[in-house]
Amino acid sequence: QAKQYGRGGYTFYNEDLGDQLKQQALLEEELKGAVERMDIEPFFQPIVDIENGHVKGFEVLSRWTSPTLGAVPPDIFITIAEDMGLIDAITWQVMRKALKVAASWDNDLFIAFNMSPHLFNDELLMNIKWQLSESKFDPKRMEIEITENAVIGNMDEARVALDSLKDLGIQVSLDDFGTGFSSLATLSKLPFDKIKIDKSFVTDLDSMPQNAKIVGAILALAKSMEIAVTAEGIETNDDLNFLSAHECLQGQGYLFARPMHAQDVSNFLADANELERGGKKLRVS
Ligand code: C2E
Ligand code: MG
Ligand code: MG
Ligand code: MG
């Protein structure tokens, strides 16, 4: 920044831009290689029944550690993958790995997958059906999370897609609820089973009246529409207590556990009955 006013500020600006482009090109190159080598890994973050502490399932979150760049956050590499046309490959690779892991668990926990808007096409259903039959995974244990970006502009096609997913027994969730421009319109037009309250609202619920009001209103809305709710990003006992008092069904957040490697999931499940979070005992049934 300061450089901008230095010797030939203009030139420096261009150099910075050049650096950025180099960095971007490197990222793209590395990501392409990573997808070819199937280096992107599913991590698993538990989703817990707030009322009784039962672990109900896991959200799958993609992780990529580049040998030269280190860990690259999914918000960054998923966007690049979408632009480069790599999101299909990543999604189906990660799903295949995650289903293989989940099929080995001795329980009936669900797993939830994030679907990029780019995947909302004719092949979506075919791919998911193939994945389910390949892994012999019960569709009733699968959830698909989409943001309103995936459906905006083509509500009719989206309804057909969601209906077919639901016909298979798959649950569909509206992710990052409250952050888009037309969350309510999306909710009213499409048959979602679940809302995920965006983590930006799930913070300081005891001390920030605005957040408390918004979360309270979303919970009341979901209740009247008979839609399930998961609150994302629960980090403190106070936030958990607020959600519990307002009858939020499920919760997810660092307070319970961070997203973890497949190898750590078995330990987590084995130890969960000994864990206490926000004054509640966790349980795996
Ligand atoms: P998301 O689907 O809304 O996932 C929840 C994000 O919140 C995850 O970030 C998770 O690690 C984070 N999180 C969970 N609990 C807490 C908490 O208590 N505090 C805070 N501060 N954060 C918490 P992550 O893993 O970095 O993923 C970011 C986003 O990247 C996801 O948001 C999702 O939109 C996207 N993403 C990740 N994996 C995939 C994927 O395989 N496919 C697609 N299409 N998108 C993905
Ligand atoms: Mg999600
Ligand atoms: Mg979300
Ligand atoms: Mg998000």
User: Residue 102 half-sphere exposure, CB side, CA atoms within 13 Å?
Assistant: 33
- 175 in ligand 1 pocket by Cβ < 6 Å? yes
**Residue 238 confidence (pLDDT):** 95
**Residue 15 confidence (pLDDT):** 64
**Residue 8 confidence (pLDDT):** 42
Among 41, 59, 61, the mutation site with the greatest number of ligand 1 atoms within 8 A of its Cβ is 61
| CA separation for the pair 87, 118 (Å, rounded) | 8
How far is residue 283 from each of residues 55, 112, 204, measured CA to CA in Å?
6, 19, 26
Q: Residue 45 C-alpha to ligand 1 middle, in angstroms?
A: 9
Q: Residue 13 C-alpha to ligand 4 middle, in angstroms?
A: 32
Six-digit token string for 33: 């290689």
Six-digit token string for 167: 């016909």
Q: Residue 197 C-alpha to ligand 4 middle, in angstroms?
A: 10
**Residue 28 confidence (pLDDT):** 95
> 10 Å Cβ neighbour count for 141?
21
Give the ligand at the shortest distance from the Cα of 197: 3
How far is residue 160 from each of residues 125, 164, 191, 220, 279, measured CA to CA in Å?
11, 6, 10, 28, 43
Summarised one tens digit per residue, pLDDT across range 190-244 is: 999 999 999 999 999 999 999 999 999 999 999 999 999 999 999 999 999 999 9
**Residue 278 confidence (pLDDT):** 83
- 131 in ligand 1 pocket by Cβ < 6 Å? no
- 253 in ligand 1 pocket by Cβ < 6 Å? yes
Q: Residue 147 C-alpha to ligand 2 middle, in angstroms?
A: 8
- Closest atom of ligand 1 to CA, residue 90: 41
Among 40, 48, 114, the mutation site with the greatest number of ligand 1 atoms within 8 A of its Cβ is 114
Helix (H, G, I), strand (E, B) or coil at 21: helix
Q: Residue 176 C-alpha to ligand 4 middle, in angstroms?
A: 5
> 10 Å Cβ neighbour count for 246?
18
Give the bridge partners for 229, in sequence order. Answer: 195
Among 77, 232, 240, the mutation site with the greatest number of ligand 1 atoms within 8 A of its Cβ is 232
**Residue 1 confidence (pLDDT):** 40
Give the ligand at the shortest distance from the Cα of 48: 1
Q: Residue 13 C-alpha to ligand 1 middle, in angstroms?
A: 33
CB 284 within 8 A of CB 68: no
**Residue 153 confidence (pLDDT):** 84
Give the ligand at the shortest distance from the Cα of 45: 1
Pick out the chain residues at pLDDT < 50. 1-13
